Structure 1
Amino acid sequence: MQFALPPRRTPIAPPYARSSRFSLQRRKQLKAVAILGLALLTVFFLLSQLFYTSTGTPAVPAGTAGVVIVTVLDRAGFSDDYIQKIVKNREDYAKRHGYTNFFANVSDYETALDNAPRSWAVVPAVRHAMASHPYSKYFFHLDAHSLIMNPGKSLESHVLEKSRLESLMQKDVSVVPPDSIIKTFSHLRAEDIDLIVTTDEEDMCPGSFILRQGDFAKYFLDFWFDPLYLSYNFAKAETHVLDHIVQWHPTILARLALIPQRIINSYSKDSSGAAVDGVYKDGDFVIRFLGCDTDTKRSCEKELEPYYRLWVSKLKHE
């Protein structure tokens, strides 16, 4: 018996099969896309190098000042002549060392102060300076009622150089004199420091301090200027708030260096509350007329005048 063989099936090409010609074209397209993608990545990398260093941090544009001097002027109640003397003093110092000045007016921050004491303006002013000079490394706030008396001293050699700062740092001492139980850390090194400040007989002294640009600086200033602190009736406003946050927040204390008062904050003989060896002596970096604007028996303009004349005389003999 013979059996019929099943009919052969003619192979049918899959409905989506591509011709070899189409596959070749597709490979060419993919190769072109890959080359284009590589080219774009290369361009992106090259452009990024224009703005970032090899460590991934923003590159500093040429001509950027390493130090910005922040001075907050309160024009209410002071003559133009007095203000111009302060400005001239700062401009001379900045020019000598390649620094730049940031002059702010208290009136610029009245909305932010929201009826808080006008002395609070220092905090938003420094924050403003940092935003205006994002590539500068250090911000030196010096109270307007102060004069730089020894302009030959750069901040680098006088304070900021590693060996110099480590020799100045006061370790394991009360943060707020005379006997705060909270003390400065003894293990800190110069590279750990973002905030450099002094104390007088009773408090920390925000009238003269140095702050290093960075995330800590922004955090510190925002925390210091918290609306809760502004609304609280601290007797010495921003000074007592600084005393408080440094003592109770180790994140801040871990970035803090206390240095001797006369290094950046010598008080005039008419200013009360100076630390031991905190009164101005000839040759000191600055003189500060603390309280001359709040004591009705004193005059900032009269106290400034003899020291301003002395400063001008020194300039003439250089």
Structure 2
Amino acid sequence: MHFAFPPRKSSHPPPYAVRSSRSSPLLRRQRLRNWGLLATLAVFTIFLLSRYSGTGGSEKIPSGTPPCVIVTIIDQEAPSAFIRAIKDNRNDYAARHGYGTFFPNVTDYNLDDAPFTWSKVPAMRHAMTLFPYSTYFFYLTSFALIMNPSISIEAHIMDRERLETTMLVEKPVVPPDSIIKTFPNIRGDKIDFVLTQDREGLSQDSFVIRRGEWAKYFLDAWFDPLYRSYNFQKAERHALEHIVQWHGTILAKLALVPQRILNSYLRDPSGGTEGVYAEGDFVVNFFGCDLAGDRNCEEEMTPMITRWREIRDRRGY
């Protein structure tokens, strides 16, 4: 059968056509909302990466900022001549390299009845507040002397290639047989914390930290009230060994270097000779002089203070 006219279209379009025309604005709004969420997530990710990737290559550092700050805690009850000698030692070295110095008092910080030796941790955090753009912070106990002023922190310790040559890899963190060892194959520019160890464990008398969010996290973790109240036998030293072994995020940023690079002992109480000071070493540490009742730090350090002054005054040094 043939129709004279084509079949009339229904005046009631299929339901999907109505739904399609009415839902398209909703779909567009949903897509915009999804894109907005993705953009927000991307911005947040970039923010986190910029905060936790170190000092940041694009950071503008104000003119005159010291690249390194030397931190030494002073006991104001020590003889004034001794305090003056320690400050002179650091200030002379800092002036040669354009560094800053910071000398807080041992009683400046609330330690909640913990030993005064803990004060080094908040002192380093304090220094980072006072020098917010400096790259390195070098802590050195007051019972040590800088003996080779020609050595710089950047070239001698923190240079990437230098670190990759000197860092001790797959080394037990706590000698002699800790199952936790330093990581192998870490790039030098990823290291933010450099220190040494002696025969008994990690030494926190001389160490360098690179400024950044990780450094703040590390110092805050080390200074946790739980560790200060735990009554470790060797206070902050044992606390440091604990967090390094139990927190991979800390161990991954740590480098151990040979003791004579950063922390030579005038004499090693354990009888070792590997880390004993020799002329030309960067630092001499009178380790244990403040702990043994038959030793006197000021008396032991006087001959080396005299020697340091000879080195300081040597023409052309």
Taking structure 1 as the reference length, the TM-score comes to: 0.80
Q: Tell me the distance in 2 between the aligned counterparts of 1:127 and 1:317.
A: 35
The answer (yes or no) to whether the contact 2:264–2:276 under 8 Å persists in 1 is: yes
Residue equivalent to 2:97: 97
Residue equivalent to 1:69: 70
Q: Tell me the distance in 2 between the aligned counterparts of 1:292 and 1:105.
A: 19
Superposition pairs of residues 77-226 of structure 1, within 5 angstroms: 78-109=78-109, 112-226=110-224
- Report the CA distance between 1:176 and its aligned residue: 1.0
Partner SS state of residue 228, structure 2: helix
The one-letter amino acid paired with 1:158 is H
The one-letter amino acid paired with 1:127 is R
Change (3 A) 1:231 1:274: farther
Q: Tell me the distance in 2 between the aligned counterparts of 1:137 and 1:56.
A: 12
Partner SS state of residue 121, structure 2: helix
Q: CA-to-partner distance for each residue in 1:285-309, whole Å, 9 max, x for gaps?
A: 0101111112110010111110011
Partner SS state of residue 309, structure 1: helix
Q: Tell me the distance in 2 between the aligned counterparts of 1:295 and 1:61.
A: 45
Greater Cα offset, 229-238 or 152-161 = 152-161
Partner SS state of residue 195, structure 2: strand
Runs of 5+ unmatched residues, structure 1: 1-54
The one-letter amino acid paired with 1:61 is P
Does structure 1 residue 317 correspond to structure 2 residue 314?
yes
The answer (yes or no) to whether the contact 2:149–2:312 under 8 Å persists in 1 is: no
Change (3 A) 1:195 1:71: same
Does structure 1 residue 295 correspond to structure 2 residue 292?
yes
Q: CA-to-partner distance for each residue in 1:138-169, whole Å, 9 max, x for gaps?
A: 00000111100011111122111111111111
Q: CA RMSD in A?
A: 1.3
Q: CA-to-partner distance for each residue in 1:54-96, whole Å, 9 max, x for gaps?
A: x7853100000100001011223x1000010000000000000
The answer (yes or no) to whether the contact 1:200–1:274 under 8 Å persists in 2 is: no
Residue equivalent to 1:284: 281
Q: Tell me the distance in 1 between the aligned counterparts of 2:249 and 2:97.
A: 32
Q: CA-to-partner distance for each residue in 1:19-51, whole Å, 9 max, x for gaps?
A: xxxxxxxxxxxxxxxxxxxxxxxxxxxxxxxxx
Taking structure 2 as the reference length, the TM-score comes to: 0.80
Q: How much identity, in percent, do the aligned residues show?
A: 52
Q: Tell me the distance in 2 between the aligned counterparts of 1:87 and 1:208.
A: 16
Number of corresponding residues: 260
Larger Rg: 1
Residue equivalent to 1:59: 60
Residue equivalent to 1:20: none
- Runs of 4+ residues over 6 Å off in structure 1: none
Q: Tell me the distance in 1 between the aligned counterparts of 2:251 and 2:170.
A: 12
Partner SS state of residue 157, structure 2: helix
Change (3 A) 1:187 1:56: closer
